[in-house]
Amino acid sequence: MTVSARARSPRDRAADATADSTADAAGDGLARFQVLGPLTVTSGAGGDAREVPVPGNKLRVALAGLLLRPGETVPVGRLVAWLWDEEPEDHDRARATVHTYVNRLRRLPEIRDVVRTVPDGYRADVGPGVLDLLRFRALTGHAGRAAAAGDLEGAARAYAEAMGLWRRPLLSNAESAALHGDEVAPLTEEWLHAQERWADIRLSTGGHAELVAPLRELTRAHPLREPFWERLMLALYRSGRPAEALRAYQEVGAVLAEDLGVDPGPALRDLHRSILTEDPSLGPAPGRATLKPPAQVPRQLRPDIPGFAGRKAELAALDRVLAGASPSQAGTIVSLQGTAGSGKTALAVHWAHRARERFPDGQLYLDLHGYGQGRPVQAAAALETLLRSLGTPPDRVPAGLEERSALYRTLLAGRRTLVLLDNAGGSEQVRPLVPGAGGVLIVTSRNQLRGLIVQYGARRVILDQMPAAEAVELLAGVLGPERVAADPAAVAEIVERCARLPLALRIFAERAARFPGTPLRRLVADLRDERTRLAALDTGDGDDTDLRTVFSWTYRALDPDSARLFRLLGLHPGPEVGVGAAAALAGEDAAAVTRLLDRLTADHLLRSRSPGRYDFHDLLRDYAAEQARLAGDADPQSGADPLRRVVEWYVRTAREAAAHLPPGGRELPPEPEGAGVVPQEFDDAERAVGWYEEEFPNLVAAVRHAAAREWHDAAWRLGRAMAPFAEFHVPGPAWLDVRRAAVRACRRGGAAVEEGWALAGLAATYARLGRLEEAAARYGDALAVARRTGDRDLEGEALTHLGRAYFRLGRHDRAVECHDRALTIARGGGDRRLEAGTLNHIAENDNGLGRHEEAARGSLEALAIYTELGDRYHRAEALRTLGTAHAALGRLAEAAAAFDAALEIMRDFEDRRGEAGVLSRLGDVLAASGDRDGARARRREAAAIVAELGDDHPARPPGGPAKTGPRSSDPRRA
């Protein structure tokens, strides 16, 4: 084979950079990326490795596209083509959306420093050992150099390692016909060439017998690729199977004739003739294969569960694993994992019975007792049991662990055997029990078995809560379909109260079956109180059919620090918890708590659906809270109450995040000293918004919890700090409850000044929802508090917004009065922001009355002040008012320019509601300009945003549609 010289491409240089690196770059702590299969991002190394979810197909397509061209600039236009298989209607909008997708990718800490912005596009900067594609190319390059130097065994090892990196099908979770056509097809060709080179080397080193099975698979997958048939025929011939080699020639001839209407090529024809004549140049003469005596065939599966229900997705996942298993390749390992009571053993046994005919050489079963009342089975003892099951006489079982493991692998090599290891305690217990090539190993465990996944490429199948429909199916299987169908509301509640956990559902169903005449709606009452729910799911047997007992086995295996954190998390007020909040609960530093959280996650006592975020289902939460009460972890009278600490952490971190967000209005007063927590800090608005998006349900829960505990100061301080985010990103009805709770907390806590600001915030939310009478009333209440307490800042704010509410209610004279007084306060106190806001409100009123020239002048004056203050967000509001005035005066180009400028700012601040309003008005202007397609596109975008927000607030800012064209001015003043 000859290699022609050519210029070095970025792809070559990227591959060269990894040529001398180790396969795993162990210990570097970097994220790792895999594109030679489903797109996967992992963080950490060894047993600490965890998968990082990349949410959404578009984000996965963008990341995959960049990683498939490592070190190269990928133009924005190319990303557009990959992200939209069809030509996008609006290329400018599509390019802007690409920017948004890349920014969302960068919010993932593991990706932040990998994706770079460069002139004309983006680039993925991945170092040695980080990307499997680079590793693949480095290994194949090394193999080629080793072969050229005569080191054929080294070349074979490198090719085999390179082949092992592939987890087909490629990028199955990044759906894009354009991306797959541009990148995946050429990459697949690289893999096929590497397979051919690997086969050549194995044929040269006498590995012809082991090549037959993988070459058969390759010819089945690529029947028109003649080089694979050549190598298969030669491997068969050298293995002493010349008749099969000749039959392979007939097979390929038939395929080529049927599909292409051609005969085999010259190379195949020459090889065929050489086999017929037993040409000595083909290698060793055909010999006879030696038959092994038949081995004992074990059939050890536990009995299947009658009426097994549900777990359709997981059964399908196991079927897919079986479909990909090959007797010639390394054994297939499945880690079937999940929390206690999720039905791991039942699923594994049920699937094994369904698939047992695929394992004619035997099915082995062994309970490792990793969790439970007995002691875990040691690996040496497990191997003795397995070896004897495979027919090894007791006196022939080796004494040492390594010797037993080697004999075990030897006995299973090349045999289609299923090994089911149930209830494993960890990877160390399982490693010596991993079989060699040919078999399938399924390991069930409450532990994540990360070591098996990293070291052996085990496939992870996670059992989470059952889908609701499958949970109902399970109940119907025990109680009968008629009883379940008779009370669907009660059944739905039972399913959720049992956390859709199979064991809990079966326990409840067994109890309900004992009382066939009792309506289910009466029985479900016992599940409603979180303090007694576990007792209602207690069989009294104290074994693996009792929920508390099953949970306790995992809990008791924890070290004291992990157990304490688990208990405290049961007291956390919100639905999920981040590292910072968990650290505040525990009173520990974040690094120590991260290790504890990881331990709890590894044992499936917690779930981690995204990096740094943790939760558990309600029954585990109940169990954790129960253990916390028994341990005396939460004392409301104690100054070290963990709940007070975490609420205080939310208050102070929300304040830190609020400092980065618009509107940049009144500065929040300083927080009291002595909280004993370290709030999270933020570098920019993007990270602050990301934190709020993740934490908002927890913040709402913390406000309610603080109010219930009568921590009134914490409740109103937290409500105040949430406002800069919630006003722009949270539907009004959901935010309204928090606003009301903050007002109540201020009143009960005697915080008069804060009550005024809380009332003004409540009024703003009413106004956003179009509930103007209530908005005006609450602004009036805030105004009364301001005058009573002498708070001139609050008085000015209340007046300017009250004036706007009055105008929208048609009370124009009162609006003028309020705005005049607000301007007096602003100019008298030098409050330029209040002055600009009031001027813009007056301009909005002028637009509403047809005084568009006055509106244009007023909004320009407000715009100048906001520019002077550096208040970019409020510039967008003034630009929106200005654009409305220009549109009404027929100055359509100026209107479009103002709206475009406002739109850019709204998008930068991720103000989706404001973006929708400006898009609607821009659509009106484009329609008036004759650009109907552009108008439709903008209006569709606006409608999509409104639907996404799920808010009943109109997309347009107050004042109706942007009127276009000159009209007479209304002489009335606002």
How does pLDDT run across 762-804, given as a tens digit for each residue? 999 999 888 999 999 999 999 999 999 999 999 999 999 999 9
pLDDT exceeds 90 at position 819: yes
User: What is the rounded distance in angstroms from the CA atom of residue 112 to the CA atom of residue 105?
Assistant: 7
Higher pLDDT, 764 or 278: 764
- pLDDT at position 25: 36
The answer to whether residues 719 and 741 touch, using CB atoms and an 8 Å cutoff, is yes
The answer to whether residues 811 and 803 touch, using CB atoms and an 8 Å cutoff, is no
Q: Using pLDDT thresholds of 50, 70 and 90, give the confidence band for residue 906.
A: confident
pLDDT exceeds 70 at position 330: no
pLDDT exceeds 80 at position 293: no
pLDDT exceeds 60 at position 191: yes
123: Cα within 13 Å, side-chain hemisphere: 14
Poorest-pLDDT segment among 26-30, 648-652, 840-844: 26-30
Centroid of chain to Cα 168: 21
Poorest-pLDDT segment among 18-32, 61-75, 778-792: 18-32
Secondary structure string (H, E, C) spanning 842-909: HHHHHHHCCCHHHHHHHHHHHHHHHHHHCCHHHHHHHHHHHHHHHHHCCCHHHHHHHHHHHHHHHHHC
Q: In 3-state terms, the chain is what percent helix, strand and coil (to 5)? A: 60, 5, 35
- pLDDT at position 955: 40
Poorest-pLDDT segment among 76-85, 216-225, 509-518, 525-534: 525-534
Fill in the amino acid letter for 518: T
pLDDT exceeds 80 at position 184: yes
Residue the block writes with tokens 């948004």: 100
Poorest-pLDDT segment among 210-219, 637-646, 817-826: 637-646
- pLDDT at position 15: 41
- pLDDT at position 230: 92
Using the 8-state DSSP alphabet, how is residue 619 labeled?
H
Q: For the chain, which residues make up each domain, given as ranges?
A: 1-205, 220-286, 312-463, 468-547, 711-949
Poorest-pLDDT segment among 322-326, 469-473, 577-581, 911-915: 322-326
- pLDDT at position 841: 95
- pLDDT at position 325: 58
Poorest-pLDDT segment among 383-397, 449-463, 672-686, 927-941: 672-686
Q: Using pLDDT thresholds of 50, 70 and 90, give the confidence band for residue 23.
A: very low
Q: What is the mean pLDDT of residues 420-442?
A: 87
pLDDT exceeds 70 at position 47: no
Poorest-pLDDT segment among 84-88, 275-279, 285-289, 458-462: 285-289
Kindly state which CATH superfamily the domain 220-286 is placed in: Tetratricopeptide repeat domain (1.25.40.10)
User: What is the rounded distance in angstroms from the CA atom of residue 363 to the CA atom of residue 380?
Assistant: 20
pLDDT exceeds 90 at position 668: no
- pLDDT at position 950: 61
Higher pLDDT, 30 or 801: 801
- pLDDT at position 5: 28
Q: Using pLDDT thresholds of 50, 70 and 90, give the confidence band for residue 564.
A: very high
Whether 1-205 shares its CATH topology with 711-949 is answered no
Higher pLDDT, 539 or 236: 236
User: What is the rounded distance in angstroms from the CA atom of residue 58 to the CA atom of residue 218?
Assistant: 32
219: Cα within 13 Å, side-chain hemisphere: 22
Q: What is the mean pLDDT of residues 46-70?
A: 85
In CATH, the architecture of 711-949 is Alpha Horseshoe (1.25)
Centroid of chain to Cα 371: 29
Centre a 10 Å sphere on the Cβ of residue 65 and count the other Cβ atoms it contains.
25
User: What is the rounded distance in angstroms from the CA atom of residue 758 to the CA atom of residue 754?
Assistant: 6
How does pLDDT run across 576-607, given as a tens digit for each residue? 999 999 999 998 999 999 999 999 998 889 98
For the 1-205 domain, the top CATH level (class) is mainly alpha
Q: What is the DSSP string of 905-934?
A: HHHHTT-HHHHHHHHHHHHHHHHHTT-HHH
- pLDDT at position 970: 30
How does pLDDT run across 834-883, given as a tens digit for each residue? 999 999 999 999 999 999 999 999 999 999 999 999 888 899 999 999 99
- pLDDT at position 17: 38
- pLDDT at position 349: 93
Instruction: Give bridge partners of residue 444 from the DSSP assignment.
Output: 336
Mean pLDDT over all residues of the chain?
84
The answer to whether residues 662 and 911 touch, using CB atoms and an 8 Å cutoff, is yes
Higher pLDDT, 17 or 624: 624
pTM: 0.62
Nearest to 554 by CA among 602, 594, 617, 598: 602
How does pLDDT run across 692-746, given as a tens digit for each residue? 988 999 999 999 988 888 888 888 889 888 988 888 778 778 888 899 998 998 8
User: What is the rounded distance in angstroms from the CA atom of residue 658 to the CA atom of residue 663?
Assistant: 10
Q: What is the mean pLDDT of residues 542-568?
A: 85
The proportion of the chain whose per-residue pLDDT surpasses 70, expressed as a percent, equals 88
| Backbone φ, ψ for residue 74 (5° rounding) | -100, 115
Beta strand spans in 410-545 (E) = 418-424, 440-445, 459-463
First to last CA, the chain: 87
Q: What is the mean pLDDT of residues 792-818?
A: 94
- pLDDT at position 2: 27
Q: What is the mean pLDDT of residues 160-186?
A: 85
Poorest-pLDDT segment among 46-50, 180-184, 213-217, 665-669: 665-669
How does pLDDT run across 961-973, given as a tens digit for each residue? 444 443 333 322 2
In CATH, the architecture of 312-463 is 3-Layer(aba) Sandwich (3.40)
Higher pLDDT, 897 or 969: 897
Fill in the amino acid letter for 5: A
pLDDT exceeds 80 at position 639: no
User: What is the rounded distance in angstroms from the CA atom of residue 970 to the CA atom of residue 958?
Assistant: 18
How does pLDDT run across 107-139, given as a tens digit for each residue? 888 888 888 887 778 899 886 578 888 888 888
How does pLDDT run across 758-771, given as a tens digit for each residue? 999 999 999 988 89
Higher pLDDT, 140 or 840: 840
Q: Using pLDDT thresholds of 50, 70 and 90, give the confidence band for residue 243.
A: confident
- pLDDT at position 838: 95
- pLDDT at position 406: 83
Q: What is the mean pLDDT of residues 17-45?
A: 63
Q: Which two tokens stand for residue 497?
A: 């109260």
